[in-house]
Structure formats: C-alpha cells, structure tokens
Structure 1
C-alpha cells in the first residue's frame, strides 16, 4: 500500500505554494512593501558597520592580483573556455549593470541585486550563477571589505585588463542589499520571453516601449539576439537596440562600442539540447544548492554548454582584446543558420580555417565564428555602420571609446564623482555624472540666515510656503536608485528645470530673485541658500505652532552651470507627480497614492517618514498652485499636527466629488470644511498609514511631530551630499 503523506497540522508563514498575502486577498489595498524592502532586519551587519570605512582596510592591489589569477584558474566543475574565465566574468558584470534604466534609475549594479530573484533566474542571465560561485573564494577571503556588488563589476574590469584592454577606471562604493527587490517593475508579462504582440506586451502603438522599461522582453537585459520576437531582421533589431540603449542613457557611438566590445571576447553557448536543462536557480531542487540550468542527462559543461542557445565565438582570438570583431564582421558575408540548440544565428558564407576560432577544450579543432542579429544590425543600419567602419579603421579610437562606455555602463547608477571611492577612480568630470563644483563653506551662515529672515518676513516679500516649496522642489528630484538629482548643484535655477511645470516658474522666479542676490552678497552658493531658506521657513512655522526648534544645516553645496548639465539626460528627473505637494501633471492610469509611494521610495523614505513629511507639507500650505486639497488646518503656515487631527476626526465625512477629489464635510451640518485628494485620504484609509496618522494626531505628540518632520526634512535635503561622506 502506498504510504500517504500527511498534511502539516500547523498553519504557518512558510507555506510558499500560494500567495496568501493581504494584497492577494484585497488587491485594492496600497502595498507599502516597497518602502521597507531593505530595512535593517534584512542585513547581517551590526549597526556600527560602515562599508566606506571597511574599504579603507582593503588591499586593492592584492585583490586585483587575485582576481586576475582567477581568470586562468580553470575549475573542473565549470571549466573556463580556452582556459580563461574573462568572457564569463565580463558577461556577469555586464548583466549586473545592464538592468539599469534612466526612466526611474532602478536596476543596475549598485546593490548586487543580481544575486537574488528575479534577476538571478532571468533566462538572459543563464549560467551566471556559475560565475558568482567562481568568485566566492575571493569574496570569502576579503570578506566585509568588499561588497558583492563591487566585486562583480571589478571582475569585469579585471577580465578586460587581463585580455589586453586599458580600462578607464573603477570606483568602489556599491553596497549590497540582502533581500530581493521584489517591488521593482520589470514589465507586465506573465511569462518569460513572451512575444511583444501578446496581451501583456510592454509595447503599444508603433512599437512604443512602456516607461520606465528598457529591455524588449521580460527576462532579457537588452534585445533578443535572434531578432525581434525571435525573427531575424537586422534593421528591426537596430531600432530595438537604439531604443533600449537610449533608455540606458547611451547614444549610437556608445551603443556600437558596447556591442562590439562585449563581443570581441568570449563566446555564446548553444551546443546541445536546451530542453534537457533543469530549472533556473530560484526554481531548482534543494540539493542543487542555488545552481540552475543544470544538464543532468549529459555532460553539459565546456564545449557542451547551453546558455543562450546561440553557439560560437565572434572573433578568431576570443581571449584577446583586439579589433578582430570588426575584421570578422566586414571581411565576410553572412548567412542565416541555426545553432545545435535551434537558435537563429549567422555564419560566414566562406572563411579560411586559420580565421576560425579554436574549440574551447581542444585547440586542434576549429569552428565557424558566428554573429547574432544585433551584430548584423551594426553592419546594415546606416548610422551604426558609419560608426563601425570608423572603429574598424581606428582601433585605438575604438578601445578608448569602449573603455569610457564600459565605465559609464558600470558606473551609471553610482552617482556623482564626489561619491567615488578607491585608487582607480577617475578624476575627470563626465557630463553624465551631473558634475557639481565644490561649494564654499567659509561664509557667514548666521548672517545669511538672518538676511533671509529679514527679506522674507520683515519685508513680507516671501512666505513660509514659498521658501519651503522652493527648497523642496530643489531637493525632490533626488533618486536613491541611481543617486541622481537633489538640491546640490541648484539645477532648479537652470533653463530646463526652471521651466518645469511642477516647479511653478512664476513662484520660483520670485523666490530666486530674492535668494540669488543674498547668496552673492554672502559668498554662499545658491544651492546652500535655497536649502537654508527652506530651513528658515520651517523654523518660523514651528515657532508659530509653539515649538522652538533649529533645523540642522550642512553647508558646502556647489552651483552647477549650464555647461555641466545635460538637459536631455536630466529631463527624466522631471516630476510627473509629487504627492507631497499634491501635484499631478495630468491624469494617469496609476493611482496618485501609488505614485506617491514611488517618489517616497526613490527618496529613501520609510512609511513613517513619508507620513510625517506629507502631513507637515500640507499644513505648511505648500501644495502646487496654492491648491487647498489636504490643507486640513485653520492655521496654514504653522507646523501643527492638524492634518492628522482632522483626518482622524470622526465628526467629518468624506464625500467623493470627482476622479481624484473629495469634500470633507461636517456630519451634523453637511457643511464642507476641507477638500482632499486620494493622496490625502489614503493616510486615513490604509490601515498601516492610519496607524501612523493616529500616532501623530495624539494630544501628546505635537512636539514629536515637529521633531520627526525636521529629521525627515534634513534627510531629504542632504540625500545627495556625497561630498560629505566619510
């Protein structure tokens, strides 16, 4: 008789077979998880650990020596192609960095997120689990002095250097996360590699890719190497490439350089039957211990490896940095064929044996080189071809361009140069780093503060709300995802940002007309003056609420120039919505409260911080266009806890009046007391946010409300102060 398996009698949270979360039961609820996905409960470090301090004890030269030695230390469990792991390590670094997109700054290499799902199990990241395990002995040796995130990118650099490329530089400073970024939006598809004409496609109209996405399919880093939806057509693929690389902040020159430079070394793997491969790491059996895509029916390693399904090397010498890629591309005619795994690729119509790359395990055997649809795009797209021909004629120019593009790819999400760490960090300012000159700290801060008070309040030229809103607008562009934006640099005063709708140009010009002359008079930067003026406004508002408090101020911001600002690149930072000021540029399918969460997470806020900050901004009367929605107070401009007091007052009823508008009416009389938006009312309707709102509404918490608001305000104002890091 067959033995029956008993069901566990204990109901517990380890049931992973189905989604039993509150959001699954009540899909309309606002999911706050994105604000707490990397809280201190996930990290194994104690509260005293500081990665930048730990880096000071790292022997960088010893680490680099060990990593270069690793490149040719082939292991039998995953042998190196041609005895060199360079191609594999470059792909690991490339795919770690390559998930970055400019739209929201998410993805990329700065958190080591490729260690976790879904990235660790994307089809495009096949067998990169082996690369990480090959790096483990080095990580084990150097321990807490080097993060996985830094180690992975450094591995790519060391691979290129060991094969002959002079790299542009490297910065440490990427700090590991310890939990998946499960709330990052990677697309609407419900399965991997779905064709782009399905119901859940990321495309609309004439192949318009949804923002903020960059890759063409769920599970790919860039484009489909076999062609659009797996159908070879180099001209169509070129358009996908152009869109994808633009979404990563790359131009045509950089796109060609990166494509060619990535394919100058290493090979693709498709010499076998892909159908016999096992599950990805996240879905594999427990005994596989985090390894995925295993071939348990055959050898499945070395020359028999299957990863992308495409098979072969691009160049004659795949472990050497040279100009062999362009020589191979232009010296031959290419025709479609299929790999042993059944993937579309191109082979040369004819080629001499001595131009063929040798077998990865037996150098007495030679195989045809191959090209993908993306490679052929460089030959047939007119603009890409011009650049490719230029690189083919000038190998030094190609090497230099690639080195800078590779540096940009692997450092795009690391923020400005002021935050770079290590002996190999370049000193040159690059436009994509949003450079900011060093600011002056040697000025009369107290005198400037007093002058701001005199001009704003004694002369009655500016209000509390105008000072606070301007400082907020200057700082709110910061994105912790790629460390761009923020108050440092005072780019709010430059031509592009000055015209953003969300910045209210008329009010902004009025405030700057007062603050810019004061900055010049005292020798301070405009950036410092804007933030200090916001602090002055908050202190005045707190005093009006009966709380005497000083807002901490960190001087030393610089002022960026027009020449130091790439307006096209900076355009992605323009706010389309800002719940903290009750602003939406237009109506969107996404709910306003969800857009508030997105901005709060990019600013690095927790749910309590988001709550107290928004409640304070409302009573400070900082709404866009002086709108009164959510200003639940009879004393606007005073930093009271009135927003929370009135939000939680059961003497009021909440009556919808439109898509995103509500009247707050007195239950007894029916009179309209206040108006509100969804962003305001969610702090009373969501059970978690209501708990925070009730806390700040308590009679004994006015003082703490002000103190907590100030802490969060200072956090936002200083979020981009990488120049002040230890």
Structure 2
C-alpha cells in the first residue's frame, strides 16, 4: 500500500505506511483493516456524531489579514468593471504550489459541518465542470459560469456559495488566477488532503464575463432518479459506465443538508476521509426507506444514521454498475486509480488549454 492510501482525514487518524506484502495477503489485510476502521468510526459517530478534524481552521484574524492584505493587489489588477484581468497566459505569473498550500490551509474549520470544507470544495469543482455537453461543446469549468446567476441559483448548486466565499480571499491574493483554475484546484487539494489519490491538474482556464455564458438548468444529476437518468447525464459529458461508477465514489465525502438538497445525512461515519466506504456501505449495509416528511431517501437499517440517495441505489441494482462497485469495494487501490483518471478528465471537460500549460502532480502536505 502506498503512503497516499494510508493517509486518511480527519487528521486524528493515524498516517501509517504499510510495507509491501504478497498480493493475496495484502488484499486480505486491507479488507480486515478497513472493516475494523469502519466499525470504529461508526461507534465514534454514534457517540460524537460525525468525526471532526483535529486541527482548527485558520483563525478569524489570519483570514482577515489575508483578505485585507490582498485588497491593494485586487485594486491594482482590477479592470474597469471591478474584476481582475485574467488573460490566456495569466497562469504563467502564479506559483501554484503556493496556491495549493493556501487552499489546504482553508480546509479545516471546526465550526463548519464535520470540521472540513473539503467535501464542499470537491462538490464545487464537480459542479463547475459537470455541465459540459460533448455534443454542443458548451459548459465545463472554463469560464467558471457557476459563479453567475442564474447558474449559481440552480437547485443542484444550492450551498456552493459557501465554498466560493471561502475561496474568494485567494482570488484576491492571486489576481491572475482564473476562477475556473481556482475552483478546480480546490477540488484537487480537497481530494488529496482528505486522503485520496494524486490528481493530475493543469492551469489555463479563462474567466467568463457575462451571465449569458451560463449553462441551462438540468445538466447535473438529479438525486431522485435512477440508472437511466444517471447514464443520460454522464454520457452527455462523455463518460462511460466504469468512469461513472468511479466518480460516484466521491460520495464517501460530505453529507446532504435539508437546507440545500432537501436530503439529510452523511453516507458513512467518516465524511471527511476519502475512502472506498461509499461502495462498502452500499453493498454491505441494509438500506430501508426513511420515514420522514422530506424527499424519498434511504437510511441504514441498523442505526438510521447514514443515508443513500435513490440515484446511489442504482449503482447497487444496475448489473453493469454493480460490477464496478463490487470491484471498488474489494480494492481501494483500484478505486483510487480509476477515480484519479475520471476526476482529472471531469475537470478538463471543454477546456482549451494553452499548448505549453504544465501538468501538475502536487504532493499532499504532511
């Protein structure tokens, strides 16, 4: 097992590197270790609700200094309409390793959700990119139209204003970075710093200037639908069934909120750790309809503490999707490898990168 696979968030979890072992023994050891870890985390959940990150986020003073110190630069580099001038080669002026570190510093905050902005950063990157239509060549992260109305107000994007506001001081600190690069890099940082795989990423997105560039509503998945709808949405982006199954594994992170999607609860007991627990929970737990006044969803029968969406259940009932789910549940290494490829592809949909734009593979911070 590589060091990256042993790193899990919250930071209170141990970061140990396992030594190489024969394939069969290593697989068995991983399966046993994950089962024990999940059981321990579930016990912790019932006592403390979802686990919190060990470190507090940046202090209000630190954030204030960051924002205030950036205002002068923001004014200097702003255009007449108040938005920074970002040209096709602006990325050349940015040290993206520093941007990575600054985004990582914004992740942990004991006062937000389960103690981390990581899950909502992943969702922001995902929704900024997942509007791409391979047929019309429209949508995607280039232009970052998710920050404009009406796209920002689409039902699927409810709550993402929180993520955009959290990142805004960095846009002011690095006025030459495009919003598209900032939002997608935030997703990469979150996946890696929460224990996930290394994601290849490159800069060069531009900023759309007008709301007329927004994509129409309905291009993102509807959680209430089944396998046919899921395929329609992802095939439109250019993904196949295996890539779709890999991407849905990101539901190991975060939780649903009644004030945003209407649904409620986390998918598992470690919503700030990037693992293959979405698949293991989906297959190994017993899911029953939740009895409540909200939209139809499932909860685990033993405790009722965890949930699955109707669209999630399609990955258990559809025979093709289930084949991939079973593989990822049994082998987290395989999931990480396939997710890294699919997520990098998602973030680049529709983007015309400069020919010399570098490809980054950032190392997760210790």
| TM-score of the aligned structures, taking structure 1 as reference length | 0.37
Corresponding residue number in structure 1 for 2:297: 345
Matched position secondary structure for 1:244: helix
**1:256 correspondence with 2:208:** no
2:131–2:215: 8 Å Cα contact kept in structure 1?
no
Among 102, 106, 109, the residue aligned to 1:70: 106
Corresponding residue number in structure 1 for 2:190: 159
In 2, Cα distance between the equivalents of 1:412 and 1:258?
A: 14
Corresponding residue number in structure 2 for 1:147: 178
Among 234, 245, 252, the residue aligned to 1:245: 234
Corresponding residue number in structure 2 for 1:266: 254
In 1, Cα distance between the equivalents of 2:142 and 2:292?
A: 35
Among 40, 58, 63, the residue aligned to 2:94: 58
* Offset from partner CA, 1:306-353 (integer Å, 9 cap, x none): 11010011122111111211111111121111556x1111011224xx
Matches within 5 A, 1:355-370: 368-370=305-307
2:205–2:352: 8 Å Cα contact kept in structure 1?
no
CA 316–56 in structure 1, closer or farther in 2 if over 3 Å, else same: same
In 1, Cα distance between the equivalents of 2:84 and 2:100?
A: 25
Matches within 5 A, 1:683-722: none
Structure of larger gyration radius: 1
Among 221, 224, 237, the residue aligned to 2:222: 224
Once the two structures are TM-superposed, the CA of residue 410 in structure 1 deviates from its matched residue by 0.6
In 1, Cα distance between the equivalents of 2:152 and 2:220?
A: 16
In 1, Cα distance between the equivalents of 2:120 and 2:356?
A: 26
Corresponding residue number in structure 1 for 2:267: 314
In 1, Cα distance between the equivalents of 2:200 and 2:326?
A: 26
2:140–2:351: 8 Å Cα contact kept in structure 1?
no
In 1, Cα distance between the equivalents of 2:246 and 2:146?
A: 24
Once the two structures are TM-superposed, the CA of residue 222 in structure 1 deviates from its matched residue by 2.7
**1:171 correspondence with 2:178:** no
1:311–1:339: 8 Å Cα contact kept in structure 2?
no
CA 413–185 in structure 1, closer or farther in 2 if over 3 Å, else same: closer
Matched position secondary structure for 1:255: helix
* Offset from partner CA, 1:99-126 (integer Å, 9 cap, x none): 1111111111111111112211101110
Corresponding residue number in structure 1 for 2:61: none
In 2, Cα distance between the equivalents of 1:339 and 1:253?
A: 34
Matches within 5 A, 1:352-391: 368-391=305-328
* Offset from partner CA, 1:267-313 (integer Å, 9 cap, x none): 1111xxxxxxxxxxxxxxxxxxxxxxxxxxxxxxxxxxx11010011
CA 413–41 in structure 1, closer or farther in 2 if over 3 Å, else same: farther
Q: How many correspondences in the alignment?
A: 284
In 1, Cα distance between the equivalents of 2:211 and 2:162?
A: 19
In 1, Cα distance between the equivalents of 2:356 and 2:327?
A: 33
Where structure 1 has 5 or more consecutive residues not aligned to the other structure, the ranges are 1-39, 187-218, 228-236, 271-305, 352-366, 427-726
Matches within 5 A, 1:481-630: none
Among 355, 358, 364, the residue aligned to 1:419: 355
Once the two structures are TM-superposed, the CA of residue 81 in structure 1 deviates from its matched residue by 1.6
2:139–2:215: 8 Å Cα contact kept in structure 1?
no
CA 338–129 in structure 1, closer or farther in 2 if over 3 Å, else same: farther
CA 136–150 in structure 1, closer or farther in 2 if over 3 Å, else same: same
In 2, Cα distance between the equivalents of 1:73 and 1:225?
A: 28
Please tell me the root mean square deviation across aligned C-alpha atoms, in Å: 2.3
Larger relative contact order (Cα-Cα within 8 Å, sequence gap ≥ 6): 2
Once the two structures are TM-superposed, the CA of residue 180 in structure 1 deviates from its matched residue by 0.8
1:222–1:241: 8 Å Cα contact kept in structure 2?
no
In 2, Cα distance between the equivalents of 1:105 and 1:42?
A: 28
1:171–1:420: 8 Å Cα contact kept in structure 2?
no
Q: Which has the higher helix share?
A: 2
Matches within 5 A, 1:321-470: 321-338=274-291, 342-351=294-303, 368-415=305-352, 419=355, 421-424=357-360
CA 406–185 in structure 1, closer or farther in 2 if over 3 Å, else same: closer
Matched position secondary structure for 2:307: coil
Corresponding residue number in structure 2 for 1:12: none
* Offset from partner CA, 1:538-592 (integer Å, 9 cap, x none): xxxxxxxxxxxxxxxxxxxxxxxxxxxxxxxxxxxxxxxxxxxxxxxxxxxxxxx
**1:81 correspondence with 2:69:** no
In 1, Cα distance between the equivalents of 2:251 and 2:356?
A: 28
